[in-house]
Amino acid sequence: MDTIQLFVGVPGGPELLIILGIAVLLFGANKLPALARSSGQALGEFKKGRQEIEDELRAAAEAEETDREDGDDVSEAAVDATAADVA
């Protein structure tokens, strides 16, 4: 049974030149540097936001581990308070 490969891989040199040519035709040579600059800035903002979220999650996980190492008194109190709220 023959299968059709839908995704060949990363485009090589000739394919990139064709894509670049189409981009020049669509956006014009004058707008391409501005388009690339704004795309780069957006990617930088995305990476910055992702790093901030990772840092917050890492800090929360470390705080959770510290609470567990200090004892389960806080956890048991939280469970008791939650049980009292539900009842």
Long-range CB pairs of 1-10 (<8 Å, 24+ gap) are none
Q: What pLDDT sits at residue 35?
A: 85
78 token code pair: 């939280």
* Alpha carbon distance 47, 55 (integer Å): 12
Q: Between the CA of residue 4 and those of 1, 7, 8, 12, 29, what are the distances in Å?
A: 10, 9, 10, 20, 37
pLDDT tens profile 23-74: 888 888 888 888 889 989 999 999 999 999 999 999 999 988 888 877 655 5
47 token code pair: 């990476």
The reported pTM is 0.48
- Structural contact between residues 27 and 35, judged by C-beta atoms closer than 8 angstroms: yes
Q: Is the pLDDT of residue 75 over 80?
A: no
Residue 20: pLDDT band by 50, 70, 90 thresholds? confident
Please compute the mean of the pLDDT values over residues 7-31 and round it to a whole number. 83
Contacts of 19 (CB under 8 A, 6+ apart): 11
